[in-house]
Structure 1
Amino acid sequence: MQQQERAKLFASLHVKDRPLILYNAWDAGSAKAIADAGSPAIATGSWAVAAAQGYGDGESMPFASVEFIVARIAAAVDVPVTVDVEGGYSEDPQLCAANVARLLEHGVVGINFEDRIVHGKGLHGLELQCARIAAIRAMADARGVPLFINARTDLFLGTGVKPPEGMAEAKDRAAAYARAGASGYFVPGLVDLSAIRELSNAVELPLNVMAMPGLPAVRELAQAGVARISYGPSAYLLAMETIQRAARDILEERQAA
């Protein structure tokens, strides 16, 4: 399947009331396992990708390493691949676009792109964040790739902001990001069902939420109009917990022998 066709297929999987479930991968092996389980697409999560290589989250992992891992993932599966690029590894719109272009060379058809100031505090202002989204969109369009730009806002993630006070800004950001060329709207940290429903009804972009404590069941989220549910580092944490437990049992058994 050509990259353009995969990109169109990936976009078509975002259906309001019938959310796309993405159990996030962190390397080629995990991506292949998730694809073999029947997932229609593969998504990476920056936290898990970095942790698997001994790095912390927040663009501390060299982008060349990210590119290498993404290339291996894309080569290992036959389904659309979307990548968490955090803040694009630069505040400069053109450098963000250039970095994303490197991933497109490996067949990637989607990205998560966040508005958090990675090496600072708070969120980027609307003007700058929209300029960054627009630059990525222009780059992808120039290459003939209908890239799915999942515009992520960290408005409700680790900020202490909760609905209803953050809803007006969440709606404003969604509208602005859509005008700049975003394809979807990702709001991790938002778990209140009534707020999720309100936001879904108010925004034109497919709404993406992240699995975390307090998030309602998939059926409820579907009824609220959610189009995508991401599982973030869940798979990685489960895998590492399983490995640690097995290693501990083996070591304890050997010591007792």
Structure 2
Amino acid sequence: MNHLVKFESFKALHAAPDIFVMPNPWDAGTARLLTSLGFPALATTSAGFAFAEGRRDACAALSRDEVIQNAAAIVAATELPVSADLEDGFGMAPEACAETIRAAIEVGLVGGSIEDATGDNRAPIIDIGLSAERICAAAEAAKGRGFLLTARAENHLWGRDDLLDTIRRLQKFSEAGADVLYAPGLPDLGAISTVCREVDKPVNVVMGLRPPLYSVSELAEVGVKRVSVGGSFARAAFGAVRRAAMEVLDSGSFTYAEDAMPGAEIAALMSGKSGRN
């Protein structure tokens, strides 16, 4: 499937009446697994990738080149549209965000997100004016090139529980050219509903990050268009490995293997010969 076809498919998902789930693989193998299960699109996760590389999920833990190379491997492993977690655009200047978008398009990504967090606890959120300029530059870089831009307002991940400011930011990002809007860490379903009502673009919500957790149907009812899982599948995988290891250490047993995927199934996945049963 070529880039334009993938982009049109991804765009159509956002225009369709139904909500959709876009899970987050962290490497080519998990991309193949999730593709086989019938999801319509995938998104990368900087957290999951960082964990796999033995690093913290933190600003500047990964370079632009590393994130783009990881995304390229995921794109190559699936026929599905892939969007990428492009963190803060890998630079404060608007042109840095534009350069990141151009690099993302070059490796076949059909979407990606730029966030407004600085990574500095003393001043965690970028000024709204500069944030909008950064989204504008990213949108210009994406224009006409088959790429849906997601703008992220990070207030609620950094202890700034100001819903009105979050909404103002999302509205400003929409005006600047964002195609999808995203405010991770919203406190409850009421806040999610308010955001969906107050903005004019499709809204992404992340589940699995932290409580409260809502079902896909509950999110659909309040107007959410797209659901991602961030690094939570990667954390679930780490949890499974830890449980298996602790069973061996504590009891000397190996019953964890009963729940493991058979090697033959994994081999079929990696050869591209497996689909959902």
Structure 1 gap segments, 5+ residues each: none
How far does residue 253 in structure 1 lie from its aligned partner after superposition?
6.1
1:237 maps to 2:235 = yes
Q: Deviations over 1:70-96 (max 9, x none)?
A: 111110100101000110110011122
Equivalent residue number for residue 256 of structure 2: none
Map of 1:208 onto structure 2: 204
SS of the aligned residue for 1:111 comes to: strand
What is the root-mean-square deviation of aligned Cα atoms in Å? 2.0
Instruction: Work out whether residues 190 and 196 of structure 1, in 8 Å CA contact, stay in contact via their aligned partners in 2.
Output: yes
Question: Counterpart of 1:94?
Answer: 95
The corresponding residue for 1:174 is 170
Aligned residue in 2 for 1:227:
225
Query: Which of residues 183, 186, 210 in structure 2 aligns to 1:187?
Result: 183
Shift of 1:227: 0.6
Change in CA separation of 1:249 and 1:114 when aligned onto 2, cut-off 3 Å: same
More contact order relative to length (CA 8 Å, sep ≥ 6): 1
- 1:119: how far off? 4.2
Per-residue deviation, 1:104: 1.2
Matched-pair contact (CA < 8 Å) for 1:63–1:89:
yes
Q: What are structure 2's unaligned runs of at least 5 residues?
A: 254-277
Worse overlay, 13-22 or 173-182: 13-22
Match of 2:50?
Answer: 50
Q: With structure 1 as the length reference, what TM-score do the two structures score?
A: 0.90
Cα pair 2:3 2:110 within 8 Å, conserved:
yes
> Which residue number corresponds to residue 137 of structure 1?
139
* Alignment map for 1:36-75 (pairs within 5 Å): 36-57=36-57, 58-75=59-76
Residues 152-184 of structure 1 show CA distances to partners (whole Å, capped at 9, x for unaligned) of 1112223151xxxx2322221122111111011
How far does residue 208 in structure 1 lie from its aligned partner after superposition?
A: 1.3
Q: What letter is aligned with 1:127?
A: G
Kindly provide the CA deviation profile for residues 13-64 of structure 1, in whole angstroms up to 9, marking residues without a partner as x.
Answer: 1258632212211111111111111111110111111111112221212222
Instruction: Verify the 8 A CA contact 2:142 2:148 in the aligned structure 1.
Output: no
Look up the match of 1:127: 129
Offset of residue 5 of structure 1:
2.5
2:142/2:149 contact within 8 Å kept: no
Task: Indicate conservation of the 8 Å contact 2:23/2:41, yes or no.
Answer: no
For 1:160 and 1:174, the matched residues in 2 are separated by 15
Instruction: Quote how far apart the aligned CAs of 1:200 are.
Output: 0.8
Change (3 A) 1:158 1:125: closer
CA drift at 1:148: 1.1
Whole-Å separation in 1 of the counterparts to 2:120 and 2:158: 15
What residue is the counterpart of 1:82 in the other structure? Answer: 83
Deviations 1:175-217 (A, max 9, x none): 2111111011111111411221122111101111111311322
Amino acid at match of 1:151: A
Instruction: Give the 3 Å change call, closer, same or farther, for CA 156–17 of structure 1 in structure 2.
Output: farther
Shift of 1:138: 1.3
4+ runs deviating over 4 angstroms: 251-255
What TM-score, normalized by structure 2, do the two folds share? 0.84
2:215 matched to which residue of 1?
217
2:145 is matched by which residue type in structure 1?
Answer: V
For the residue of structure 1 that corresponds to 2:14, the secondary structure is coil
Conservation of the 8 A alpha-carbon contact between 2:124 and 2:158: no
Identity %: 32
Question: Which residue is equivalent to 1:7?
Answer: 7
